[in-house]
Amino acid sequence: INPSKTEFMLLKSRHSKTTLNFSIRFGNSEISPAPSVKLLGVTVDSNLIWDKHISLVVRRCYCVLIGLARMRRRIPRQTRQLLIEALVFPHLRYCMSVWGSCGVTLRKRLQKCINFGVRIVMDLSRSDRVTQHRRELGWLHIDELVCERDLHIMYRVLNAANAPELIRRHITYRADT
């Protein structure tokens, strides 16, 4: 283990007031718990509330969206749509099955990114409603994206030949209850 690259964190309830003076010693190095750790591109905090991860996702999305918004009059509508689907939606979808259980407030922040993308593609002002235009583009609401991802995973568990049997055994069908 390389102590300079090693991190760890203690998971606890955000309501827990206890603070532990806990550290791990490797030779001459001492490693203290971190408040958050980045793991495979997902920022996990010690309370599992996902606010740091969502903030990073929103920041990445807005960097792309603001750049496109400045050039939107010079780019055809379908190209704008394709760019947003290629450069923004992967950030929204990445590891959604992990952070998809985040709170309503955090999902609203993600939805604002999608709405901003709709405004760029459809050349709308800030005051224009986007729901109908979002549907016209075929883009889902953030809650629908999370649900779609969960349903896709469930479909694969039920139908894929290489799906883990351990997971299949824990599924109860409605007809069996």
Per-residue pLDDT at 19: 66
The interaxial angle of helices 142-159 and 104-122, nearest 10 deg, is 110
Per-residue pLDDT at 88: 95
Q: Is the pLDDT of residue 4 over 80?
A: no
Cα angle, residue 71 at apex, residues 60 and 94 outer, rounded to 5°: 25
Beta carbons of 142 and 111 less than 8 angstroms apart: yes
Per-residue pLDDT at 5: 77
**18 falls in which pLDDT band (50, 70, 90)?**
low
Beta carbons of 92 and 57 less than 8 angstroms apart: yes
The stretch 7-27 carries a mean pLDDT of 75
Q: Each residue of 121-176: pLDDT tens digit?
A: 999 999 999 999 999 999 999 999 988 988 888 888 888 888 888 888 888 877 88
Tell me, letter by letter, the H, E, C secondary structure of the chain.
Answer: CCCCCCCCCCCCCCCCCCCCCCCEEECCEEECCCCEEEECCEEEECCCCCHHHHHHHHHHHHHHHHHHHHHHHHCCHHHHHHHHHHHCHHHHHCCHHHHCCCCHHHHHHHHHHHHHHHHHHHCCCCCCCCHHHHHHHCCCCHHHHHHHHHHHHHHHHHHCCCCCHHHHHCCCCHHHC
Q: Each residue of 78-118: pLDDT tens digit?
A: 999 999 999 999 999 888 878 888 888 999 999 999 999 99
Rounded to an integer, what distance in angstroms lies between the CA atom of residue 96 and that of residue 48? 14
Per-residue pLDDT at 38: 85
Beta carbons of 56 and 43 less than 8 angstroms apart: yes
Q: Each residue of 54-79: pLDDT tens digit?
A: 999 999 999 999 999 999 999 999 99
Beta carbons of 35 and 46 less than 8 angstroms apart: yes
Tokens of 88: 């923004």
